[in-house]
Structure 1
């Protein structure tokens, strides 16, 4: 089934433009009528970012990583400890 942009509720137009009509209909079929929480970008990438930090940590480069990731040394220390 083909839908047009004017068939889409105004508050979902951006979603429609991002995913296209086929994926939009798939999302509507799966989640239509329910409340769907979409986490923030920052929350979504947190685990991946933390894995990358642990991989790059060499025991002495916390300050460098803190500057690169825009985080405090204390936050990075907690990440590399696994907290």
Structure 2
């Protein structure tokens, strides 16, 4: 999948290929349609906020999307549900 990747604090985000997510127990995979940018995100990406992030990361506070795959123990969500 393509993703905006932060390789080091203070650097620009890079559009790069990232491994597809692997579905685990109690998890769903969601195709993101929309997300938000936090007002202080630049402080996070620059390292100014000193968050304990393991780099490289694909930053993002969450999003809206459609469930693509569900774990074997799913009880409420189904493929195609909006979350």
Which is higher, the Rg of structure 1 or of structure 2?
A: 1
Query: Which structure: greater helix fraction?
Result: 1
TM-score under structure 1 length normalisation? 0.22
Query: Which structure: greater strand fraction?
Result: 2
